Amino acid sequence: MNRANLKIGKETVANLLRKCELLDLENQAIKVLLEAVGNRPAVHGWGKRLVALMNDPALRAKVHAAYASFYSQIQDAADEGAVLDILQKIPAATLPAS
């Protein structure tokens, strides 16, 4: 793989990682919201609460910390195989339920 293709591959994987991080953030925010509302069947304004939780700096930092090392590993990867190895580790970065 030439350098240009490796760079494009790294950018693609970094974009995929950002999407995974965003989905993990959303999942964590949903968990917090569900824990807060308990067994109530309907919660008015849940969408606004979810957005507020997703924008919470502490929650964002907690989720980003689980993914931060992958960004540098992707940039430092020497070849396509190393990038694919990093992809295989991504699910392990998800946060445990708090």
How does pLDDT run across 68-98, given as a tens digit for each residue? 988 999 989 888 888 888 888 876 555 555 4
Inter-residue contact 40 to 60 (CB < 8 Å): no
Distance CA 89, CA 69 (A): 11
The model's pTM is: 0.76
Chain Cα centroid distance, residue 88: 14
Which residues lie below 8 Å from residue 59, measured CB to CB, with a gap of 6+? 25, 28, 29, 32, 53
- pLDDT one-digit tens code per residue, 10-31: 888 889 889 989 999 999 998 8
The tokens 């824990």 sit on which residue?
A: 35
Handedness of CA 88, 6, 18, 72 (dihedral sign): positive
